[in-house]
Structure 1
Amino acid sequence: MTTGGLGRAEADRGDKGGVRTALAGLTTRGRSFFAAGIAAAICAYVLGQSDLLRVGLLLAVLPLICATVLYRTRYRVAGSRRLSPARVPAGSEARVHLRMDNVSRLPTGLLMLQDRVPYVLGPRPRFVLDRVEPGGRREVSYRVRSDLRGRYPLGPLQLRLTDPFGMCELTRSFSTYDTLTVIPRVEPLPPVRLSGEAKGYGEGRQRSLALAGEDDLIPRGYRYGDDLRRVHWRSTARYGELMVRREEQPQRSRCTVFLDTRGLAFQGAGPDSAFEWAVSGTASVLVHMLERGFSVRLLTDTGTSVPGEGADGFAGANQESADAAGMMMDTLAVIDHSDDTGLSRAYDVLRSGNEGLLVAFFGDLDEEQASVAAKMRQRSGRAVAFLLDSDTWVREPSDVPGPLARSEEGLRMLREAGWTALSVPRGASLTDLWSQADRERTGVGVTGGITGEGAS
């Protein structure tokens, strides 16, 4: 929300500054009147015509009076802005609601309202507000849309004040602004069983040992309504008060989604580039796995993990899932190419723990980096890789020597290391690739990548 006022503190800038501001606000009509009045006054002095002199003085003084009165007018106006929604997928529209309140005891004149928006969101919206009565309110709205993800500032809000004769216009600005976050497009994915589990909850093979042994049991104090069968008598005797065993919480299966952001691994730019497809695919997998009940984190080639370092960087409890999803989407909204040339830092993070399911989006891989990527599989229960051959994204299919020739060696190395690896040609559908990865896991279907746009 943006709030502010146009009062005395904003207008008082000293006499000299006030004169300069008032004169600078003269419109073309006001300057023309002033110039015509000066010319008429000079001619009247030369010709000795007193009537013409009075007309000249009137023409010259009128715009000065309008500018002075407008500058000294003390409008107290409060403005607010509301985004609906504040986080929107690329290619979708958001609506911006503006509200102006006249908090003074005097009515306003004609107000021209303008909001500053980046050019990628569209033209600057402008509105004309009629006279606003004391305590009155005016509401307007406009839409913004961007095909490019990012964070875009909206504001500050500007008011253009004008006098009834159109001789002078002055601009007043509010000081605050809001931010619209454009996140990557999210594609709905089918509920496959890439990890061998239907849901992210359950006993599972990776269940925490702390939940299995009584030695690690942490009791809590008795609360009204607790089942007496859960009373832990040993702790009760030790602490001198009634203690009960905590309810065992199911361990959430883990999923790490890796995004290769190396600048040298991707060619091209724009919303239809290979890198943007990888970012959108990463966002789709993150949202899908969170909805399936997994504990998820985002990892990049720089070794940075989102949502954070707590609990190995994974989003844990249910109440944290929405916040974690928001943090990861905000990160993907502004993520850009890194200067790293290798994947070693991400490998160091992955080899330090048991990662569960690993889903990776790779750019171009040379032999050395394909070897590092293959080793990432060692600490994961199951690993799925989407390998983008960016050469096919910047050239026509006829210009590429052989189907997906550059990615074949990387695919072979990943598959030999146990990855379920798929090539991503230009225009491929992540939904089809996701289903194909499940078929390859179970040994059904072909083992090559999708070779046609939208094919499976």
Structure 2
Amino acid sequence: MTAAPEPSAGDEDGGGLRGALSGLTTRGRSFLAAGIAAAICAYVLGQPDLLRVGLLLAVLPLVAVTVLFRTRYRVAGSRRLSPGRVPAGSESRVYLRVDNVSKLPTGLLMLQDRVPYVLGPRPRFVLDRVEAGGRREVSYRVRSDLRGRYPLGPLQLRLSDPFGMCELTRGFSAHDTLTVVPRVEALPAVRIAGDASGFGDGRHRSLALAGEDDVIPRGYRTGDDLRRVHWRSTARYGELMVRREEQPQRSGCTVLLDTRRAAHRGAGPDSPFEWAVSGAASVAMHLLEQGFSVRLLTDCGSAVPGPEGSGGDSSAAAGLLLETLAVVEHSDNSEEEGFSRAYDVLRGGSEGLLVAFLGSLDDEQAAVVARMRARTGAAVAFVLDDAAWAGESRPAGQAAFRHRQQLLREAGWTVLAVSPGDALPELWRRADGQRTSEGAPVGGLTGSGA
């Protein structure tokens, strides 16, 4: 970003000078007031020597304002974030660079960058003097325990005269954005989906069952393996033709995040909703690393596609999912709607693996979630115990909570209750352990609400 602190032709009129007078510091105003008072006293008492002193005191700040206002140098500024996207609780360093692009050295400069209060105090730097064509670089750190997108800037440059009589502020126009994404925990490589990898062999099987005449060839390209040359098509077209590369089929996974405002209590980095968001990010990143095609689905029915919607690039899909989870907020979904929109999205096709992070459920919403199981190959639900997170002990509430878990288990879900202090890696391992110990098939995972 660049800015020109010196006034333009239109700023040199009386209005611009009046604006510069507003930049008088406490010292400058004191000198001006003392000079005016001395001049008045000199007139009343008839003391010409006192009048000269008063004029000197009054003129000095005005001269400082005029000189500073008409200073003819230009300063360019830039900002760089390293990194521009960080997990919650991690630090990012912001680098500021100031270049004096004029032919005159600058005076005393003070840099001030605007940052949201959640990132820390507003950074200020004092630069003594920047020679003509010179540059200065400074840096500061920002950190937030709350995910989100935070604007940085615009950078402000404060000019001061050598006597400290006047300070003028010039603002740069550009700003940057720091993205704070949810914390991502490393999960153990278990076989919850019934396969250690997200790649299946369905595509290979379909090609194996196809006859030699069913192969669709393409023209030979430099570097193609000669063992893939399709001689019958080569003879037919009169040029080298090769079999198309066989692409393994990617297993699909949907991560369902309950964002209903009524389903989560509390706020802040230690709230149950933030635990659910972090859990959804951790599971999504883990399954992407395992080769799955992952999409994020909320109770409102909004879905963020996985690699298939990002050109098949897993890294792009990971970035898209994290960017979405960085700004996801509570929804005002009514109790009547609940999970009905998400259910309609899932009803559109068969899902491979469904991992749900759920808040407080009533019987009606538990029944809707239970029906989602019919469209999946495996389903795991992390149900947050709202009473435990709120520090309450209600026997009636706990009985209802266990009853709704049982509804999900009877539908084929693997259900794990989440209490404060529970670690997602251990819950993830426990979900696989329950399937192994009970010998349940992939389509019939069961679990306890431990």
Q: Same fold (TM over 0.5)?
A: yes
Relative distance call for 1:233 and 1:65 in structure 2 (3 A) is same
Offset, 1:7: 4.5
Q: Are the counterparts in 1 of residues 347 and 375 from structure 2 also a CA contact under 8 Å? A: yes
Matched, 1:29 2:27: yes
- Alpha-carbon displacement from aligned partner over 1:339-363 (angstroms, at most 9, x marks no partner): 2231111111112122111111111
Partner of 1:454: none
Partner of 1:59: 57
Q: Are the counterparts in 1 of residues 94 and 139 from structure 2 also a CA contact under 8 Å? A: yes
Question: Partners of 1:233 and 1:254 in 2: how far apart?
Answer: 36
Report the 3-state secondary structure (helix = DSSP H, G, I; strand = E; otherwise coil) of the residue aligned with 2:156.
strand
Matched, 1:136 2:134: yes
Partner of 1:370: 366
Q: Are the counterparts in 1 of residues 147 and 179 from structure 2 also a CA contact under 8 Å? A: yes
Letter in structure 2 aligned against 1:176: A
Q: Are the counterparts in 2 of residues 112 and 129 from structure 1 also a CA contact under 8 Å? A: yes
Partner of 1:148: 146
Matched, 1:448 2:448: yes
Offset, 1:212: 5.7
Match of 1:122 among 120, 123, 145: 120
- Alpha-carbon displacement from aligned partner over 1:223-251 (angstroms, at most 9, x marks no partner): 12323442335554665543211111111
Partner of 2:402: 408
Report the 3-state secondary structure (helix = DSSP H, G, I; strand = E; otherwise coil) of the residue aligned with 2:141.
strand
Letter in structure 2 aligned against 1:328: L
Relative distance call for 1:26 and 1:96 in structure 2 (3 A) is same
Matched, 1:41 2:39: yes
Letter in structure 2 aligned against 1:259: L
Q: Are the counterparts in 2 of residues 81 and 97 from structure 1 also a CA contact under 8 Å? A: yes
Offset, 1:443: 2.8
Q: Are the counterparts in 1 of residues 387 and 397 from structure 2 also a CA contact under 8 Å? A: no
Letter in structure 2 aligned against 1:428: D
Question: Partners of 2:305 and 2:35 in 1: how far apart?
Answer: 68
Partner of 1:290: 288
Letter in structure 1 aligned against 2:449: G
Offset, 1:286: 0.7
Using the size of structure 2 for normalisation, the TM-score is 0.92
Partner of 1:321: 314
Letter in structure 2 aligned against 1:344: S
Relative distance call for 1:122 and 1:230 in structure 2 (3 A) is same
Report the 3-state secondary structure (helix = DSSP H, G, I; strand = E; otherwise coil) of the residue aligned with 1:302.
coil
Match of 2:414 among 413, 420, 441: 420
Matched, 1:354 2:347: no
Offset, 1:106: 0.6
Question: Partners of 2:36 and 2:258 in 1: how far apart?
Answer: 70
Letter in structure 1 aligned against 2:53: V
Q: Are the counterparts in 2 of residues 389 and 406 from structure 1 also a CA contact under 8 Å? A: no
Q: Are the counterparts in 2 of residues 4 and 79 from structure 1 also a CA contact under 8 Å? A: yes
Matched, 1:437 2:431: yes
Letter in structure 2 aligned against 1:337: H
Partner of 1:337: 330
Report the 3-state secondary structure (helix = DSSP H, G, I; strand = E; otherwise coil) of the residue aligned with 1:199.
coil
Partner of 2:279: 281
Report the 3-state secondary structure (helix = DSSP H, G, I; strand = E; otherwise coil) of the residue aligned with 2:421.
coil
Question: Partners of 2:262 and 2:378 in 1: how far apart?
Answer: 27
Letter in structure 2 aligned against 1:273: S
Question: Partners of 2:371 and 2:153 in 1: how far apart?
Answer: 48
Question: Partners of 1:165 and 1:7 in 2: how far apart?
Answer: 19
Letter in structure 2 aligned against 1:358: L
Relative distance call for 1:191 and 1:114 in structure 2 (3 A) is same
Report the 3-state secondary structure (helix = DSSP H, G, I; strand = E; otherwise coil) of the residue aligned with 2:193.
coil
Letter in structure 1 aligned against 2:350: N
Q: Are the counterparts in 2 of residues 351 and 378 from structure 1 also a CA contact under 8 Å? A: no
Q: Are the counterparts in 2 of residues 404 and 425 from structure 1 also a CA contact under 8 Å? A: no
Paired residues in the alignment total 440
Matched, 1:225 2:223: yes
Question: Partners of 2:345 and 2:410 in 1: how far apart?
Answer: 22
Offset, 1:273: 1.0
Match of 1:387 among 383, 388, 400: 383
Q: Are the counterparts in 1 of residues 85 and 178 from structure 2 also a CA contact under 8 Å? A: yes
Relative distance call for 1:177 and 1:216 in structure 2 (3 A) is farther
Matches within 5 A, 1:149-164: 149-164=147-162
Report the 3-state secondary structure (helix = DSSP H, G, I; strand = E; otherwise coil) of the residue aligned with 1:359.
strand
Offset, 1:128: 0.6
Question: Partners of 1:157 and 1:61 in 2: how far apart?
Answer: 32
Partner of 1:103: 101
Question: Partners of 2:303 and 2:287 in 1: how far apart?
Answer: 16
Offset, 1:297: 1.1
Question: Partners of 1:252 and 1:208 in 2: how far apart?
Answer: 14
Letter in structure 2 aligned against 1:449: G
% identity of equivalent residues: 70
Report the 3-state secondary structure (helix = DSSP H, G, I; strand = E; otherwise coil) of the residue aligned with 1:143.
strand
Letter in structure 2 aligned against 1:200: G
Q: Are the counterparts in 2 of residues 100 and 137 from structure 1 also a CA contact under 8 Å? A: yes
Question: Partners of 2:10 and 2:401 in 1: how far apart?
Answer: 67
Relative distance call for 1:126 and 1:225 in structure 2 (3 A) is closer
Question: Partners of 2:14 and 2:208 in 1: how far apart?
Answer: 76
Offset, 1:101: 1.0
Question: Partners of 1:216 and 1:390 in 2: how far apart?
Answer: 57
Report the 3-state secondary structure (helix = DSSP H, G, I; strand = E; otherwise coil) of the residue aligned with 1:123.
coil
Question: Partners of 2:214 and 2:170 in 1: how far apart?
Answer: 65
Letter in structure 2 aligned against 1:431: P
